Each structure stands twice: as C-alpha cells, then as structure tokens.
Amino acid sequence: MSKIVPPTKKILDSLVDPFLTSQPKGLAFVIGYVGPSFEDIYFKGNLANQFGKTITLGRDTRFELASISKTFTATLSAALGTQYQTSWLTQSIQDYTANVIPGGLQIGSQFDNIPLSTLLSYTSGLPADNHTVTDLPRLVPTPYSPAGMLGYLNMTSLQPAETGSQYTYSNLAFAIMAQIAPLFDSALPDFNTLLSEVVLNPLEMADTFFFEQLSIDDFALGYTYASSPAAAVPPGWAVLSAYDGAGGIVSSPKDMMIWLRFNMGLIEKNKKTKGLTALLKETQTPQTTVKTRGGDQLGLGWFLAPATSKMPLGSVWKDGEITGTNTFITFLPWAGTDTPSEAGVFVLTNCNALELGGIEVVSAIANDVLITMQGGTPSPDKSNYPRVFGRQ
C-alpha cells in the first residue's frame, strides 16, 4: 500500500470552502483524521446558538451524531453479550420477552422470531423507517419514551418482512436492541447508564452523552438544506428518547477522535479497554451474506464497503443525519489482522441535506480525505463512493 500521508490544509480548505463561501454565516465543518504517525482535527466556519450568541468552534464543541449512535449501541450490545450471554447473536427477541424472563419485554408475538444479530446488521425485516414512517403510533406521545415505544409494539399490527434475507435500514431495530441489551442480566441498569459505564467511561469519552442531557445555550443552531433557502431547525429528533439507541448521542470532536482511534484499533489496551478492543473484530466483520444495494457488507452497526477503483482498499463506515446535523466516520479495513487500521477520518457539520455529487457532503468530504491520505487524487465523480442509503 502507498505511504499514508496527512491531508494538507490547502486540500481541506478546498473541500469545505465552496460551501462556506456560498452559504450564510453560522455553518461550520470539523474534519478529524488519523494516520500511522499523525492525527489532527481541522476546523472551519463559525457557529452561534439559537439566541444569536457565538459558539466557540473547537475540540469541545458539541454535535449531534445522529445514526453514528448505532455503532455505540452495537459495541455496547457486543460487550454485554460477551460478558453475560455468549450466544446472544443466535438468540431472538422471544428470549427476552415477559413470557420467558421476569421483567422482559411485553411486545407483539409477531416480533418473537427476529434474531438479535439482525437488529444490528440491518436485516431485521422491521420497516425502513427513515423515508416513510410506519413504526410509530398514530398519536405519538411527547416525549416518546422507551415505555411508549414498547407499548406501541405490544398493540400494533406491524409485521416484519423477510427477516434475515434483505437489507432494511430500520431505526426501530436499534431502538429495540437498546431495550434488550440491559436484559442480558437481571441486575443491569438501563441502556443509557450502561453505555456510560461500559463504553464511554473506559474510553474516557467525557463529552459524549444523550440528547436529553444537552444544554441548548452552548449548542450550535443547525440548518437544513432540504428547503431553499436553507432554514434554521430545532435540534433533536421527535422520537427521542425511545430511539436513543438509533440516533440519540451528542459528542465533541475531541471524543470523536477517541471513537475513531478506538475503532481503528489504535487505543492502547489496558485493564479498562482490553475487553472493548476485543469486540472490534465482531462488530467490523460481516454478520450476514446480505448486502446493501450498493454492494456493502453488513457488520454490527457498521457498513463494510468493497474495494473499488476510487477506494482500492474499501472502507468501514457509518453516517448520521437528522435535521440540523450531518456526520460521517470511515477508516481502512483492518479487523481480523494484527495491524491496526492505517487511515481514518470523521466529519461533523451543523446542517443536513447538503449534497455533493449526489451524496451527502460529509460523505464526499470524508472519502475524499481518505483517498488523499492514501496518496490518491479525489475525483469530481463520486459514483462508486460508499453510498448512503440510511439516514438518522
């Protein structure tokens, strides 16, 4: 493989300046990158909260991660499964219902036979709810809590379809898994507490938490480009906290650098992190023969892109988008080898529905940087970059 090199400021400027010079004030980009002997975080733009107060753009600035949250849910599930339920990947929802264990889920029997592995590998057969919402009650309570979601699932006529045999991007699947993982042992606390205790604290990710803990005075106003001109939008997602496991995490560039390095196999193993590092092979290798429409394989939470002419080594990646935020994380495949990944990138911005070459702008930027780091030259044609099918 070609020597991995850091992207220059000139290259990074060229990727973000077209958007910053043509859009109104209040938009910013963060690009974190890691190589074998270097790492850095690039910042460009400016931010303000919804009251017009300037927000400092830096390592501690908070961004909603949206669906990158799914990679945290998968990691926590694998960690708890390894410790408490070694056969969890072959178990099904039925194993964690009230008919089987005390305190188990009370949901419709039509969901009983969905394997837990499919909830995290996008093959559950639950609805592709990011485009046409079909998995919510007619009158959604506000806030929509996990108890509300489970109550809906106990009365709905919603049916899973082709479980285990087709790719379907379902936020509901990850929301359900977030309620099942704490049932791996009767003494475990709730999902949000477990994520902090099992994943975030050992990795020293002190700036990462759930949206309902957010203080809006130091949170940047976000914008959507789904309308023209771009419009300011309220933060959050209407179905939080029920869907925390699918898209509820808020984090900072500093912590995203830790998450990137961890998933690249670059966090030094110690007593706290050794068990987590051992999970990476499981989360980052295919869990099914099913592939996305673009040919990506499916790990636990992660998409595994094949090698192409523009991405000669392929990539491991995940995106996130809700109104007012767009995120992307990607790195070169390495799981199953003795050598950590040699290059990785994350991109954060406070807008959504901004596109380049027909794909999310953060996806295009992240993959352009990853190509540059491998000594390649990004092309205006993004046709065989990893394609983003699931949003949120």
Query: What's the pLDDT band for 381 if we cut at 50, 70, 90?
Result: low
Please, which pLDDT band fits residue 389 given cuts at 50, 70 and 90? very low
Contacts of 22 (CB under 8 A, 6+ apart): none
Rounded to whole angstroms, how far apart are CA atoms 166 and 180? 22
pLDDT in tens, 101-147: 999 999 999 999 999 999 999 999 999 987 777 899 999 999 999 99
Q: What is the rounded distance in angstroms from the CA atom of residue 6 to the CA atom of residue 40?
A: 9
Helix residue ranges, H only, the chain: 9-22, 69-84, 116-120, 146-155, 171-180, 191-194, 244-247, 253-263, 274-277, 280-283, 361-373
Helix or strand (DSSP H, E) at 233: strand 231-233
Superfamily for domain range 9-69+194-373? DD-peptidase/beta-lactamase superfamily (3.40.710.10)
Residues of the chain with CATH 3.40.710.10: 9-69+194-373
Give the N- to C-terminal CA distance of the chain in Å, as an integer: 34
Q: Where residue 303 falls among pLDDT bands split at 50, 70, 90?
A: very high
Nearest to 39 by CA among 6, 2, 3: 6
User: What is the C-alpha to C-alpha distance for residues 294 and 385, in angstroms, rounded to an integer?
Assistant: 9
Confidence category of residue 391, pLDDT binned at 50, 70, 90:
very low
Asked whether 351 and 47 are in contact (CB, 8 A), the reply is no
Q: In whole angstroms, what is the distance from residue 225 CA to residue 147 CA?
A: 33
pLDDT at 387 over 70: no
- Find out whether 235 and 324 touch, Cβ atoms under 8 Å: yes
| Host H or E run for residue 10 | helix 9-22
The length of the chain in residues reads: 392
